[in-house]
Amino acid sequence: MKDAAPTTVYLKDYTPFGFTLESVHLTFDLAPETTRVKSRVLFRPDLSAPGRKFFLHGEQLKLLSAAIDGKPVTPVITPEGLTCQVPDKPFEWTCEVEIAPAKNTALEGLYMSNGMYCTQCEAEGFRKITYYPDRPDVMSTFTVRINGDLPVLLSNGNAEGKGDDWAEWHDPWPKPSYLFALVAGDLVAHPGSFTTCSGREVELNLWVRPGDEGKCAFGMEALKKSMKWDEEVYGREYDLDIFNIVAVDDFNMGAMENKGLNIFNSSAVLASPETSTDMNFERIEAIIAHEYFHNWTGNRITCRDWFQLCLKEGLTVFRDSQFTSDMRSAAVKRIGDVIDLRARQFPEDNGPLAHPVRPESFQEINNFYTATVYEKGAEVIGMLKRLVGDEAYAEALDLYFARHDGQACTIEDWLKVFEDVTGRDLGQFKRWYQQAGTPRLKVEESWEDGTLRLTFTQSTPPSAATPAPLPQVIPVAVGLIGPNGDELRETEVLEMTKATQTFEFSGFPTRPHASILRGFSAPVILERDLSTEERAFFLAHDTDPFCRWEAGRALALDTLNAMALRGAAPDAHYLDGMIAVLRDDALDPAYRALMLGLPGQSELAAAQAEAGHTPDPDAIWTASETLRQTLATRAGDLLPKIYAAAQVDDPYQPDAEQSGKRALAGAVLSLMSRLDGGTTASVQYARADNMTLKLSALACLLRAGKGANDVAAFYEEWRDDRLVIDKWFMLQVAEAPPAKAVETVKTLVQHPDFNWKNPNRFRAVLGAFTGHHAGFHRKDGAGYELLADWLIKLDPVNPQTTARMCSAFQTWRRYDTDRQALIRAQLDRIAATPGLSRDTTEMITRIQG
């Protein structure tokens, strides 16, 4: 069956449905190829909505029967849904459809993964389960009966009853269809419990496939911590008797916040020290928190329409980053978030896919689960909090929950609570939701008669989405420091509202150093002409951990660009600064590890393009390698001592302290391996009792050209563990020398374990490949062709995962004309593929521009 025809949906066209749903009853008779779904829905027409139209979404369904108040009806059916005549008074709609979960490879709607039934309904998957008004502003209570001869049968809400081959669930909280979930299969529970702040006992379960029981303990603890944190920090208590999490192997995204029944990609929940890295543990803790926090920001208060996606996602990402900051190191978390934002959101915001945090139109909503909606959406909330202050933020959130509980809301509703609490007019601030593009913030300094003047000028490049951007409200956190690094003036948030604005700081006998955009107080590109000496000063002395790290990063960026573009030698200030960081035992190891990292090669390419140069991926790769090698040689004798000091003697814990040490040891090991040819890495690999140390050592060995035997042995050891084998695939691609990356991928896709229909496995190989900047951008275009071949192959099977990976091509305009032509040819080839999905068509068309 074909997808529905592509049409563009506009925010301005929103109209309410015109019917209230009093209740929804669903009955599932499960069978892999012939599942029957019966629905019984009580509709009440809203008589004040005269233009109302009874339209139920439905795609790829076989309608068996339909009736109104028990009388059979024959609806008009289109590829998008059905309509039929309905009475002007409350009525009962019943229908029965048949679907084939075993044939559903798109992983949207009801599908099967390793013999287990599961659902993914956000954003518009419920319409592949039954005919229904599948829109987030239609909320109702659901009662679900599942008939099936399987040990575990789950749905949303509280368990009402169960027998040998059936179970019944009732969710008392009205919800939109995108939060519906059903899971059925041979699963085992890792149980837990939580007593809420009002003393209610909640049953917790983490459901996994038999064999995965040993990977549940960390996730369960993370869930309990999240529940407690949301009570303590946001005053939010859980609202059902049970909270279930299920791990599935085939999943397009990280996880899904279905009411009372979260469904997780197994990579986002299963963990053990032997099989998972410190980074895996941290990500799992954050995703569990994120999905749990959605219970209030997303489920109890949901979105009126999909244009408001950032209402739940921006806020929930913001909340999960607050949680991680509280559980771990706030400085390290902030820097990590900025690294991610620059790597994923900035290219989107500065290329053909640019869209506002709240887009105004779309063809396929699945294409808008983006870094802009999520991460920039969270940055916008961080700015709002910075502008109004912590207290007003807390008050506004209390008001938001009190005023809008049970509703489907808009960004206007969200901003209004802040306006009501603070008396501010947020009209201009709202542009952060309406305008695409990353603002450039240029700063110029002058010093005269004891007064430092900072003049800021903002401008946002025009884009197709926002042809004429207007000035935005930019909170600029500034602190002043003296020549020895003492704080002369505490951090202050300057509020920039105009295109150009000057701020004055008076009363200083000598010129202070201005530390600007502390904590990355706004998602902008700061343009500041600083000498290398000044950058080195901030790297040595800034009291703001973000700005201190940023100074080191700017030095790295400058020297790498000079090396790649002009063949310059590595900059001495950068090298001296890094040696000082290496020597500084007082610094948090995790922070030191971050300081030692280089900007990503794609980010360097972006910076060069921004400055009017044409980036050469090979030159960028060589510059990065040379700089690492030079630093290794300069640091030489220091390294073994730091490596030794960063060893952890206690039993493995994935906490901030231990993982910080391992991160530093890993960074130092990679430098040492350039000098000792991998001897230390071999020892670490042989001795390691956890995956973090194993993988960091194996990466070093591969880079030193010595890992072949270990890679083979690693496979034999872990061949039965899907998540570890994903890492095995990924590492080989990531560590391939640029000239060999294409061949490495071509070899790996022949491997019997390359199950390309599994999104995790596909991403482990092809996703890792698109992240290999010099390998993907090989001069002869072989990388582009290889990716396009695989996108064309995957599209009919899984449009969502295909469409997401198209974004690898979004930066094509940065490169030389030869590469541009090579990429364009592949974009044209993909676009010309007969039957290309709506998802991929929209992405390719937008990228082509």
Q: Where on the chain is the footprint of Zn ion (CB under 5 A)?
A: 313, 316
How many chain residues bind ligand 0A1 (CB under 6 A)? 15
Instruction: Tell the smallest beta-carbon distance from residue 800 to ligand 0A1 (Å).
Output: 6
Distance CA 133, CA 149 (A): 30
Which one of 251-259, 628-636, 717-725, 773-781 is the stretch in contact with ligand 0A1 (CB under 6 A)? Answer: 251-259
269/582 with CB nearer ligand 0A1: 269
Site for ligand 0A1 in 106-125 (CB under 6 A): 120, 122-123
117/369 with CB nearer Zn ion: 369
521 binds, options ligand 0A1, Zn ion, none, Cβ within 5 to 8 A by partner type: none
- Both tokens assigned to 520: 């990355």
320/616 with CB nearer ligand 0A1: 320
161-176 b/e with 16+ CB inside 10 Å = b?
eeeeebbbbbbebbbb
Does 291 participate in binding ligand 0A1 (rule CB under 6 A)? yes
Q: Nearest CA to 812 among 802, 803, 823, 804?
A: 823
Does 255 participate in binding ligand 0A1 (rule CB under 6 A)? yes
Does 257 participate in binding ligand 0A1 (rule CB under 6 A)? yes
- Both tokens assigned to 142: 């659901």
Site for ligand 0A1 in 302-331 (CB under 6 A): 313
254/485 with CB nearer ligand 0A1: 254
Is the alpha carbon torsion for 525, 549, 576, 738 positive or negative? negative
Instruction: Tell the smallest beta-carbon distance from residue 721 to Zn ion (Å).
Output: 27
Name the phi and psi angles at 162, rounded to 5.
-155, 155
Instruction: Tell the smallest beta-carbon distance from residue 239 to ligand 0A1 (Å).
Output: 19
End-to-end CA distance of the chain: 29
Exactly one of 366, 367, 684, 810 binds ligand 0A1 (CB under 6 A); which one?
A: 366
Instruction: Tell the smallest beta-carbon distance from residue 121 to ligand 0A1 (Å).
Output: 8
Residue 70 region, left (φ>0) first, then alpha (ψ -120 to 50), else beta?
left
Active site residue 285: no
Distance CA 247, CA 91 (A): 39
222 binds, options Zn ion, ligand 0A1, none, Cβ within 5 to 8 A by partner type: none
Does 253 participate in binding ligand 0A1 (rule CB under 6 A)? yes
**Of residues 291, 313, 348, 735, which has the active-site annotation?**
291
Widest Cα–Cα separation across the chain: 89
| Amino acid making up residue 204 | L
Which one of 248-256, 488-496, 561-569, 587-595 is the stretch in contact with ligand 0A1 (CB under 6 A)? Answer: 248-256
Task: Give the three-class secondary structure for 137.
Answer: coil
Task: Give the three-class secondary structure for 491.
Answer: strand
Which one of 247-255, 536-544, 614-622, 812-820 is the stretch in contact with ligand 0A1 (CB under 6 A)? Answer: 247-255
CB neighbour list of residue 555: distance below 8 Å, 6 or more residues apart:
532, 535, 536, 539, 571, 573, 574, 577
Which one of 60-68, 252-260, 439-447, 514-522 is the stretch in contact with ligand 0A1 (CB under 6 A)? Answer: 252-260
Contact letters for ligand 0A1, residues 794-823 (x by CB under 6 A): ------x-----------------------
Which one of 246-254, 501-509, 581-589, 828-836 is the stretch in contact with ligand 0A1 (CB under 6 A)? Answer: 246-254
The torsion defined by the Cα of 60, 63, 68 and 73, in degrees rounded to 10, comes to 120
Instruction: Tell the smallest beta-carbon distance from residue 236 to ligand 0A1 (Å).
Output: 17
| Amino acid making up residue 592 | R
Does 258 participate in binding ligand 0A1 (rule CB under 6 A)? no
SS3 of 357-376: the string is CCCCEECCHHHHCCHHHHHH
- Both tokens assigned to 723: 């998540």
252 binds, options Zn ion, ligand 0A1, none, Cβ within 5 to 8 A by partner type: ligand 0A1
Exactly one of 112, 138, 179, 256 binds ligand 0A1 (CB under 6 A); which one?
A: 256
Q: Nearest CA to 288 among 384, 192, 355?
A: 192
Does 372 participate in binding ligand 0A1 (rule CB under 6 A)? no
Q: Nearest CA to 316 among 354, 251, 391, 369?
A: 369
284/578 with CB nearer ligand 0A1: 284
> What radius of gyration do the chain's Cα atoms show?
27
Residues that bind ligand 0A1 (CB under 6 A): 120, 122-123, 252-257, 290-291, 313, 366, 369, 800
Q: Which residues are catalytic?
A: 291
